[in-house]
């Protein structure tokens, strides 16, 4: 069983009397893209899928090599189509990242395009994931790792800001006290503020510096 299936809400579909778990890993999403031409990294409108795409999405989400899209199609009729589409939507939701907080008013939507190449490269470089490891993960799992990594980075940045401010303030040359925020180019969340207000210990500094590349 895929680890992603353990870490995601369980979605099962009754196909011919047998319950089949459904999940969208990167490997399965790439296969869907290959078979349907639908860019699964973009926002996919599941309500607009064709009959063929519905069968392919469901078959790939089941991921059982003994079940093909025609096997799935055999069980779909007007009476069951709603059940199949609901299961598809639930599996999609269970596999995709948690929605981000709503954007501020008048804030332009992100124009950053996300390609499979970029997704793979970032997962390897930033999260140190191997190819197979990444292929068998859901976008939701990778997003969860990114969130942890992002929090670590923010904490490191805050630490650097506090360290910089401490050095300047203790140098005796500062005309006015410098705050750690002056070293940070980011807005502080409540969680960041908590880290900012906390103590600055030697262990914290050592831990942050341990992340820097070492000279050979």
Partner 1 sequence: MQKVSFKLEGDPQEYILIYDFNTVCDVEEKTGLNLMTYFGRRSAAITRAMLLALLLPNHHGISGGKEWAVTLTEAGNLLTKDIAVVTGYMTQAINLGDDWILTVPRAVADPILAKAGGEDAKAQEMAIALLEAGLEPPASAPGPVAVPKPEPVAVAG
Give CA–CA dist 199/190, Å, rounded.
Answer: 16
User: Which one among 11, 15, 23, 55 touches partner 1, defined by CB under 8 A?
Assistant: 55
**8 A C-beta contact, residue 77 and residue 51:** no
Backbone φ/ψ region at 37: left (φ over 0), alpha (ψ -120 to 50), beta: left
Per-residue mark of binding to partner 1, 80-119 (x: CB under 8 A): --xx------------------------------------
- 58 contact partners, CB below 8 Å, separation of at least 6: 13, 22, 69, 72, 84, 87, 88
Alpha carbon dihedral 38, 39, 44, 50, in 10-degree steps, equals 0
User: Which one among 13, 44, 49, 137 touches partner 1, defined by CB under 8 A?
Assistant: 49
Establish if 59 lies at the interface with partner 1 (CB under 8 A): no
Establish if 48 lies at the interface with partner 1 (CB under 8 A): yes
| Part in contact with partner 1 (CB under 8 A); list of ranges 21-29, 75-83, 152-160, 178-186 | 75-83
Provide the minimum distance between the beta carbon of 74 and partner 1 in the complex, in angstroms, as a whole number: 6
User: Which one among 76, 127, 145, 178 touches partner 1, defined by CB under 8 A?
Assistant: 76
Q: Find tokens 């630490």 and name the residue.
A: 159
Q: Taking the CA of residue 120 as centre, how many other CA atoms within 13 Å lie in the half-sphere pointing to its CB?
A: 13
Q: Which is nearer to partner 1, 61 or 165 (CB)?
A: 61
Establish if 45 lies at the interface with partner 1 (CB under 8 A): no
Which residues of the chain form contacts with partner 1 (CB under 8 A)? 48-52, 54-55, 69-70, 73-74, 76-79, 82-83
């Amino acid at each position: 069983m895929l680890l992603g299936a353990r870490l995601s809400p369980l979605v099962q579909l009754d196909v011919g009397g047998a319950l089949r778990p459904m999940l969208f890993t990167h490997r399965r999403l790439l296969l869907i893209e290959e078979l349907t031409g639908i860019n699964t990294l973009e926002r996919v409108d599941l309500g607009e899928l064709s009959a063929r795409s519905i069968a392919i999405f469901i078959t790939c989400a089941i991921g059982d090599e003994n079940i093909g899209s025609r096997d799935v199609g055999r069980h779909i009729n007007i009476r069951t189509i709603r059940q199949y589409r609901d299961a598809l939507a639930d599996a999609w939701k269970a596999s995709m990242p948690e929605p981000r907080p709503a954007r501020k008013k008048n804030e332009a939507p992100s124009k950053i395009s996300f390609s499979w190449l970029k997704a793979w490269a970032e997962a390897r470089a930033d999260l140190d994931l191997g190819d197979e490891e990444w292929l068998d993960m859901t976008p939701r799992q990778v997003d969860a790792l990114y969130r942890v990594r992002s929090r670590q980075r923010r904490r490191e940045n805050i630490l650097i800001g506090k360290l910089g401010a401490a050095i300047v303030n203790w140098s005796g040359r500062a005309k006015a006290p410098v705050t750690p925020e002056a070293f940070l180019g980011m807005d502080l969340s409540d969680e960041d503020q908590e880290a900012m207000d906390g103590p600055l210990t030697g262990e914290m500094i050592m831990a942050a510096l341990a992340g820097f590349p070492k000279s050979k």
